[in-house]
Structure 1
């Protein structure tokens, strides 16, 4: 999708995605998350800005 960063399952059952990229690429990822898949119907997507200076070179799945 043209983004870098990571996705991880959180202990509370939520999923965290940190995505970096162009505004269009990040907005496309957010839109995809909001549509979801049938088993995620009724779930909420919360979007926020990350103030960290970390730069990610790829997109990975982080096992917690």
Structure 2
């Protein structure tokens, strides 16, 4: 992953705080074969809270065979 967003101020997708003031996590998704920004979060706690609030966990996990 490349270095990102060193000069711009970015609000957390979940709580609205400046992500640069914390330990930021940036999320990307694929659109038409390209990676595009999908959100930015203060830390993993805000990312998890966002996933739970938006119901993004339902039906989205990989299936792993039990070992």
Q: TM-score, normalised by structure 2?
A: 0.28
- Largest Rg, 1 or 2: 2
Structure with the largest fraction of helix:
1
The structure whose RCO (Cα within 8 Å, separation 6+) is larger is 1
